[in-house]
Structure 1
């Protein structure tokens, strides 16, 4: 599936060029966005370099990231902050802010606003991830339209919404999973035996969930 993308006209020219070079982008418009730096269908992206992230998130200079995030979440069905860097890049920044505090702010934005903050490496990695987000929010692995209510509201906690996107897990089972495992980290600690203790989850679904949260294929004989 290919998507059209809008790049905010205040972004550096290299951003639009990277978007144009992506094989899954049909067309690129450069225009003024009311919120965010990239718009792909119902997905809005705020792009940050590590230094820019610290400056806006930790109140060093420029507009407050929290305000940007609130506008982003109000303007789009699905909002993300994508960082053009890795966690390790924050270790070498001379900003006077500890890397632990920076990671804490990322967790806070993700948990409190329901807007995931994702380090993506370089610009090409960020654009690729943004395009994939735009695609995944409109396509189903089976190519069938999602039934009404299959995906939780954007107001729901992010982990609960993520659980509802796992193949074969509807809103009700996603809610049950969320009650047992309110964070993805908690779900990652569960083994197959733990998952099969939950009503409505047999061995097949347990393996699907186990694989989905680890980003691997669910195959017979996998741990």
Structure 2
């Protein structure tokens, strides 16, 4: 499935170029979005610019920006951005560009545990998962996969493994189903073993392999998708 994608005009030009280079993207428009940084465009919309689809919005943050906006007192208030996404889109995600291990490099006293706490808070209180991605290329790839998979959900054709599950399913379980290579049954098993995003983030590859349907390669894919790195 291919997509037409809108990128907010306040994003660095390199983000738009990375989106345009993704193999699943057919066209990119740089424009001012009502919320979020990346969203899908309705290709059937007539006029000068297609309408932004309300299915899902992607907010991009560097790790430093996230620490400042979610924990610190400087920068844009991430909570306000998340609430705005909730008004515009059916669901939103925050994707982090960078290594969480560097989170305290320029802010003494701030550690990864504090960041994990805010990630859990956004997932539990605002129904907005925060997913770490190690670099811009992986962040864009995860963003496009999320946009694509949410577009696939209402399709009349059978869904491929890894597509999101039904809207009545708990959001955390739907998120697990968005991981590449994770089908509905494996998403169910992961949700039973790790009923929250933070629990899955904390799981080791060995613990993941104990889940039915998760072998070595799938465990590595889960770790890479959620943490942006291989353990």
Rg (Cα) greater in structure = 1
Task: Output the CA distance in 1 between the equivalents of 2:24 and 2:96.
Answer: 21
What's the secondary structure of 2:143's corresponding residue? helix
Equivalent residue number for residue 151 of structure 1: 166
State the distance in 2 between where 1:191 and 1:24 align: 30
What is the rounded CA distance, in whole Å, between the counterparts of 1:18 and 1:164 in structure 2?
A: 25
Q: Residue 76 of structure 2: SS of its match in structure 1?
A: coil
Q: Which residue of 1 aligns with 2:105?
A: 92
- Aligned 8 A contact 2:104 2:110 in 1: no
Q: Deviations over 1:142-170 (max 9, x none)?
A: 98256xxx5134xx64323346776455x
- TM superposition shift of 1:120: 1.0
> What is the root-mean-square deviation in Å for CA atoms of aligned residues?
3.5
TM-score (norm 1): 0.71
1:214 maps to which of 187, 198, 219: 219
Shift, 1:73, TM fit? 2.3
SS of structure 2 residue aligned to 1:34: coil
Unaligned runs of 5+ in 2: 41-52, 160-164, 222-231
CA distance in 2 between counterparts of 1:2 and 1:90 reads 34
TM-score scaled by structure 2? Answer: 0.69
Give the structure 2 partner of residue 199 of structure 1. Answer: none
Seen in structure 2, the aligned counterparts of structure 1 residues 105 and 25 have a Cα distance that, compared at 3 Å, is: same
1:104 aligns to what?
A: 117
Give the match's secondary structure for 1:53. helix
Question: Partner of 1:113 in structure 2?
Answer: 126
Quote the offset at 1:98 in angstroms.
2.6
Give the gaps of 5 or more residues in structure 1: 196-205, 217-223
- Superposition deviation, residue 136 in structure 1: 1.7
DSSP 3-state at the match of 1:138: helix
- The CA deviation at 1:130 is 0.6
Matched, 1:32 2:32: yes
